[in-house]
Amino acid sequence: MELENIVANTVLLKAREGGGGKRKGRSKKWREILRFPHISQCNELRRGLEPDYGSLCEKQPIGRLLFRQFCETRPELLRCIRFLDAAADYELAPDEKRKEMGEEIIRRFLHQESPDYLPEISQAHVSRCLEELQKSPCKELFSSCLHPLRQYLSRAPFADYLDSMYFDRFLQWKYLERQSVTKDTFRQYRILGKGGFGEVCACQVRATGKMYACKKLEKKRIKKRKGEAMALNEKQILEKVNSRFVVSLAYAYETKDALCLVLTIMNGGDLKFHIYNMGNPGFEDERVVFYAAEICCGLQHLHQEGIVYRDLKPENILLDDDGHIRISDLGLAIKIPEGETIRGRVGTVGYMAPEVINNERYAFSPDWWGLGCLVYEMIAGQSPFRARKERVKREEVEKRVQEEQEHYSDKFSEDARAICTLLLAKDPQQRLGCGADGAAEVKRHPFFRTINFKRLEAGITKPSFVPDPRAVYCKDVLDIEQFSTVKGVNLDQADNDFYAKFATGSVSIPWQNEMIETECFKDLNVFGPNGTRSPDLDWRQLPEPPKRSLLQRLFRRHPADCPIGAPVPSPQPAATNSHLPAAGAACQARSTAPAPS
């Protein structure tokens, strides 16, 4: 039995290291899986994409890189890109270097005598920057300059980009993004744990070698528990949120028996494990402040999307390979209509806010209570209203939450005690984070005086603790309890309609980030010599018809080749990105990925 666990862990660790070969975990057929279609096959896709500068050139990672490549071919646009880069570097600079960097940016880009001068930025903006730099070189010094520059880029330069080979290449990437997603898209590895409706296992994308966690929701178990709305809600919320502090959804697909969410893999274990199983319970102050700051950013990103999380606890905060954290398990999260409040008695005993226990209406206040509970537990080594392993009834814990004041030991610094007291205020009107400024109010507290939130949100701040890369921070394979077989449940057409809403294939931004991080973008994004179009981008050079196999050549006397644009009957892909229109039958037929090896 122990041998089975050792083998499972060894195989997983080998996969995490990229397999040890030159392909970095990629399939032998990775180039075939990610082969660009000829540009003539992307006409429907081109017509279906809305020409929005913000979406195509800023939000989408591959779109941003290709627009930059286009700008680099024109000196007047290259100056704009360099200024945007310099302004971004300035925002992330340490306080002591900011004034010097600000003066250099103004001298280089905002003085009329400079060869890199930007006439698109008015003198009024320049004067304001000079004045503010002399007073105090704040992080937002150049914010007022960015808007007119982006306005300029979104007009004639953007129109020219849409007619360029760089945008044509973007369409080819979008075409690949829409390939069907099935279980054959991935290699499956050991079980990592259990969710509410099924197992969570490690998996790896065959084409890129990227590791993920696959959360399987068994179809019959969902139906038996009437969990369709909850499952779809979690999927849609994960799809909507794009934050380095919240687990990302990369793919959603279905198998015969399960719906599958492919999520960011977090190899470093959860906070509960690290609080209680790595020496004395609790953390030193530096580590508590760092985790609390990243959780605060994650909550802010959720709240900006109108989402309240409602289940903050140590086991839902996961560490990645580098020691950064992400909020996970959004099964209880819900979107609140703007300006409204909701009611719902959900959460985990000991972490639920008083207003949740009392079934009162609320907006985002339960999450700031949850942050207070987490900060307290990371310092004290126990939750504020329940001792470690204390056997006590739910009603007693809820009474303590409503009526008792938490106790502070000498482990708490003055700032730590102050922020916990404010976050654990019984009245949400008095609670830190519940005012008009929300998360910004929490970030300003002296507890976070050592945190530069701009650098933290850019992923520049280094964690003080890094998990052991040779460790597997989860239970042994055989210690993870098996699910029982669901009996007496039959699936019908109504269920299939629900599965179609769920299994939508790849999610745009995580998929594009995967291509960049695994260097598939770098390896494949090749143009012709001297800035010319490659054959797959050449409108005058139509693609060759697909090669026929030996059996086709022997037994089919007159096989009809499919001309470009002709309708071709093809099976419906298992899961395609629902955010883009269908690209036409011929396009769909070729977009189905060959079964990877």
- Mean pLDDT to the nearest integer, 456-466: 93
| Residue 25 reports pLDDT greater than 90 | no
| Residue 564 reports pLDDT greater than 50 | no
Instruction: Decide: helix, strand or coil at residue 258.
Output: strand
Specify which residues 253 forms β-bridges with: 260
For position 198, what pLDDT does the model report? 80
Which of 159-163, 268-272, 394-398, 484-488 shows the lowest per-residue confidence on average (mean pLDDT)?
484-488
Residue 57 gets which letter from DSSP?
A: I
Query: Would you say 412 and 379 are in contact if contact means Cβ atoms under 8 Å apart?
Result: yes
Please give the structure tokens belonging to residue 116: 């890199």
* C-alpha to C-alpha distance for 346 and 95, rounded to whole angstroms: 43
Same domain membership, residue 362 and residue 274: yes
pLDDT digits (tens, 9 = 90+) for 324-339: 999 999 989 999 999 8
Sheet holding 505-506, edge to edge: 186-194, 199-205, 211-218, 258-264, 249-254, 505-506
Share of the chain above pLDDT 90, in %: 62
CB atoms within 10 A of CB 521: 20
Element of type H or E holding 10: helix 2-16
Domain final residue, candidates 462, 487, 503: 503
* C-alpha to C-alpha distance for 278 and 122, rounded to whole angstroms: 57
Residue 392 gets which letter from DSSP?
A: -
Domain final residue, candidates 129, 152, 177: 177
Alpha helix segments (H runs only) across 432-584: 439-443, 453-457, 493-502, 508-517, 520-524, 550-555
Please give the structure tokens belonging to residue 15: 């996969």
Same domain membership, residue 403 and residue 445: yes
For position 480, what pLDDT does the model report? 62
Same domain membership, residue 305 and residue 208: no
CB atoms within 10 A of CB 248: 20
| Residue 536 reports pLDDT greater than 60 | yes
| Residue 279 reports pLDDT greater than 90 | no
Same domain membership, residue 329 and residue 430: yes
442, part of any domain:
yes
Among the listed residues 311, 320, 329, 367, the single catalytic one is: 311
Q: Characterize 266-286 residue by residue with b for buried, 16 or more Cβ atoms within 10 angstroms of its Cβ, and e for exposed.
A: bbbbbbebbbbeeeeebbebe
* C-alpha to C-alpha distance for 508 and 177, rounded to whole angstroms: 7
pLDDT digits (tens, 9 = 90+) for 358-367: 999 999 999 9
* C-alpha to C-alpha distance for 268 and 265, rounded to whole angstroms: 9
Same domain membership, residue 314 and residue 451: yes
pLDDT digits (tens, 9 = 90+) for 538-558: 988 877 776 676 666 666 655
**CATH code assigned at 123:** 1.10.167.10
548, part of any domain:
no
- How far is C-alpha 182 from the geometric centre of its chain's CA atoms? 21
Q: Which residue has the higher pLDDT, 192 or 153?
A: 153
Please give the structure tokens belonging to residue 482: 């098996």
512, part of any domain:
no
For position 579, what pLDDT does the model report? 43
For position 307, what pLDDT does the model report? 96
Q: Grade residue 483 by pLDDT with cuts at 50, 70 and 90.
A: low
What's the Rg (C-alpha) of the chain? 27
579, part of any domain:
no
27, part of any domain:
no
Q: What mean pLDDT is reported for the chain?
A: 87
Same domain membership, residue 344 and residue 230: no
| Residue 230 reports pLDDT greater than 90 | no
Same domain membership, residue 209 and residue 143: no
pLDDT digits (tens, 9 = 90+) for 142-162: 888 898 999 999 999 999 999
26, part of any domain:
no
CA separation, residue 517 to residues 209, 315, 509, 521, 524 (Å): 10, 28, 12, 8, 13
> What separation, in Å, do the N-terminal and C-terminal C-alpha atoms of the chain show?
30
CB atoms within 10 A of CB 247: 25
CB atoms within 10 A of CB 542: 13
Same domain membership, residue 119 and residue 207: no
Q: Which residue has the higher pLDDT, 10 or 402?
A: 402
For position 477, what pLDDT does the model report? 65
534, part of any domain:
no
As for how many domains the chain has, the answer is 3
Give me the count of residues in the chain: 597
- Mean pLDDT to the nearest integer, 174-189: 95
pTM of the model: 0.84
Same domain membership, residue 190 and residue 157: no
* C-alpha to C-alpha distance for 266 and 326, rounded to whole angstroms: 8
Residue 383 gets which letter from DSSP?
A: B
| Residue 132 reports pLDDT greater than 90 | no
* Closest of 332, 343, 334 to residue 305, by C-alpha: 334
The reply to whether 320 belongs to the active site is: no
* Closest of 177, 197, 307 to residue 251, by C-alpha: 177
224 assigned to a ligand binding site:
yes
Domain final residue, candidates 177, 203, 224: 177
Same domain membership, residue 461 and residue 484: no
Which of 2-11, 112-121, 344-353, 381-390 shows the lowest per-residue confidence on average (mean pLDDT)?
2-11
* Torsion of the alpha carbons at 292, 294, 297 and 299, rounded to the nearest 10: -60
Same domain membership, residue 447 and residue 341: yes
5, part of any domain:
no
pLDDT digits (tens, 9 = 90+) for 107-126: 999 988 899 999 988 888 88
**CATH code assigned at 406:** 1.10.510.10
Q: Which domain holds residue 46?
A: 39-177
Query: Would you say 317 and 291 are in contact if contact means Cβ atoms under 8 Å apart?
Result: yes
**CATH code assigned at 203:** 3.30.200.20
CA separation, residue 485 to residues 256, 261, 460 (Å): 15, 21, 46
| Residue 570 reports pLDDT greater than 50 | no
* C-alpha to C-alpha distance for 11 and 18, rounded to whole angstroms: 11
Same domain membership, residue 440 and residue 297: yes
